[in-house]
Copies of this chain bind each other. A is one copy, B any other.
Amino acid sequence: MDLTELLMHFNLTRQEATIYKTLYSEGELTGYEVAKLTGISRSNTYTSLAGLVAKGAAYVIEGAATRYTPVPIEEFCENKIRQLHQIKQDLVKNMPVKKEDTEGYITITGEKNILDKIKNMLLEAKERVYLSVAQNTLTLILPELKDGLSRDLKLVIITNYSFELTGATVFQAEKPPHQIRLIVDSTKALTGDIPEGENASCLFSKNKNLVELLKESLKNEITLIDIMKGK
């Protein structure tokens, strides 16, 4: 993803993002100079510069000719993130009470959504985590796993490569490349496949039967690993 697309995630239009980049690398500029450098029509350039100022991405330097200077990228991003934190608090406080979950079976699609769910399950874990997953996926959730260990979670991992994580119990076994199975606090289960891209699909549930099924499956897998090691 290129810089323009990344900037657009911070609520800038494509032209605003383009102009922001130009201000960044060229320094203070008049609207006329910006239009020449970017090829954007002068009319739209002035509109977008006003938008950048209103959105906190640029400042005005008043003079014979008005010049614009970019807000440092760290500041601009942090300002937006700080605002979202504040909005999040307002939302959490004011949203209606969530209707209680049933013990249904929830389909989660898309690698990003699945990883988000896994990370949240790990961050909310209180006592125990059983995880069977391929190494490539394991690296993506390492920070959350470490966070869990620092909270004295019991953490059991089965993965396909030799892997060390102080405080965790790690077993090595052949894994299909994209498969994942996760149990948290014996109450939540997630199982499925995370190939790269939008084909990823997992099942998540708090259903007792599914949780028990997955626990048995993981325990048996661990037992088989021990037997094959001649213990």
- Give CA–CA (A107, B105) in the complex, Å: 55
Which chain B residues lie closer than 8 Å to A62 at the CB level? 105, 107
- Give CA–CA (A79, B108) in the complex, Å: 14
The A189-206 residues at the B interface (CB cut-off 8 A) are 204
Which chain B residues lie closer than 8 Å to A99 at the CB level? 24-28
Known: A77-B84, A84-B81, A204-B59. A25 touches B104 (CB 8 A): no
Known: A73-B92, A78-B88, A107-B59. A28 touches B113 (CB 8 A): no
- Taking the closest CB of chain B, its distance from the CB of A52, in whole angstroms, is 11
Which chain B residues lie closer than 8 Å to A10 at the CB level? 84, 87
In the bound complex, do residue B106 and residue A69 qualify as a contact, i.e. CB atoms below 8 Å apart?
yes
- Give CA–CA (A74, B81) in the complex, Å: 15
CB-nearest residue of chain B to A90 = B6
- Give CA–CA (A56, B75) in the complex, Å: 27
The A1-27 residues at the B interface (CB cut-off 8 A) are 1, 3, 6-7, 9-10, 21, 24-27
Bits for A116-152, please: 1 = Cβ < 8 Å to B, else 0.
1101100000000000000000000000000000000
Which chain B residues lie closer than 8 Å to A69 at the CB level? 101, 104, 106
In the bound complex, do residue B78 and residue A120 qualify as a contact, i.e. CB atoms below 8 Å apart?
yes
In the bound complex, do residue A84 and residue B21 qualify as a contact, i.e. CB atoms below 8 Å apart?
no
In the bound complex, do residue B75 and residue A116 qualify as a contact, i.e. CB atoms below 8 Å apart?
yes
CB-nearest residue of chain B to A70 = B98
The answer to the question of A85 belonging to the interface, with a C-beta cut-off of 8 Å to chain B, is: yes
B56, B60, B90, B113: which contacts A106 (Cβ < 8 A)? B60
> Which of A28, A61, A77, A95 is packed against the most chain B CB atoms within 10 Å?
A95
- Give CA–CA (A77, B73) in the complex, Å: 22
CB-nearest residue of chain B to A7 = B91
In the bound complex, do residue A109 and residue B60 qualify as a contact, i.e. CB atoms below 8 Å apart?
yes
- Give CA–CA (A9, B80) in the complex, Å: 10
Could you list 11 A-B pairs, sorted by A, with CB under 8 Å?
Answer: A6-B94, A7-B91, A9-B83, A25-B99, A53-B113, A59-B107, A81-B81, A81-B88, A82-B116, A83-B112, A84-B84
